[in-house]
Copies of this chain bind each other. A is one copy, B any other.
Amino acid sequence: MASEKGKVAIIGSGLIGKSWSVLFCRAGYEVYLYDIDEKQVSNALSGILESLQELEGKGLLKNSKITSAQEAHKLVHGCSDIAEAIEGAIYIQENTPENVDIKKKVFVNLDNLVKNDDTILASSTSCIVPSRFTETLKHRKQCIVAHPVNPPHYVPLVEIVPAPWTESSVVERTRAIMKDIGQAPVTLNKEVNGFLLNRIQYAIIMEGWRLVEDGVCSPEDVDTVMSKGLGLRYSFMGPFETMHMNAGGILDYCEKYGSNIEKICEEQGESRQLHDSNTAQVVHDAMCNASVPVEKLEERRTWRDKRLAALAVHQAGQED
């Protein structure tokens, strides 16, 4: 063992825990994958090897020192003793269910076991701000959220969310580790509900919802606007760079189109009800028809992941 990159501990061997293990071992880190359930850990280890082999087959084992799936996989150790898993780890990534009481319990446990004052204690939570489960901990300055997107080996974004008491060096080191394993970190300067990705996603969903509810267009057409229009450029450039290029820079864009955009956004102020709404039924029926019925969702997810994988391979050959 003793990888020069150091040791990381992954707490929880479900889908997200497995994905983190793949990313870390691919980059040459020694990985201890912990779960209470030994059987689940051993299943996870096979799943990790399969993912690594898939990446190898696609030419996406990026690290120069790790040249094969087998070699990367040797760096991953299953473990059902949490103290052993985190012993000497430079970075711990927690992946338990999205429940604040569970997070609190797990973090109290980690807080009691961790020995170093510079070990990073990161949570994968997608929606719970870190101040809600780290406030009373001895090591709270070392706690942070690092929220990945699924599947992380094809969608590199990681949202880094410090609590008010998280040390800035912990933020910087977490960002550096994320970049080192091939991910694209973004940092929140303060806690907000939904973090960044979901806030932007929800703004899109809500405008689509209003358009359908107000009878402007069909649910399918909302999707087409994205997948055959806006979304093509969004796969390699963001909304601000798009503005920058659609005029002579941002200032020129705001000068030319700003007041019109403000006026339209004023029409978008109203939040609509999603749950138990007639529109939910309309959108549901449209998606069952245009995409797949509920019983075929698993097949469609496989298709989605195949498309994301193919896009990652395509993008690996493009210049930024």
**A interface vs B, CB < 8 Å?**
127, 149, 154-157, 159, 184, 186-190, 192-194, 196-208, 211, 215-219, 221-245, 248-252, 254-255, 257-277, 280-281, 283-284, 286-288, 290-291, 294, 297, 300-301, 303-304, 307-308, 310-312, 314, 318-319
Contacts and interface: CB of A to CB of B under 8 A. Distances in A.
Contact of A264 (B194, B235, B262): B194
Contacts of A157: 224-225, 228-230
A255 B251 CA distance: 42
A228 B193 contact: no
Given A157-B225, A240-B286, A235 B231 contact: yes
12 contacts: A155-B233, A184-B224, A184-B229, A193-B267, A197-B225, A199-B268, A201-B242, A203-B268, A227-B238, A244-B284, A251-B281, A269-B271
Given A188-B217, A254-B277, A226 B245 contact: no
Q: How many copies does the complex hold?
A: 2
Nearest to A204: B239
A101 to B, nearest CB: 17
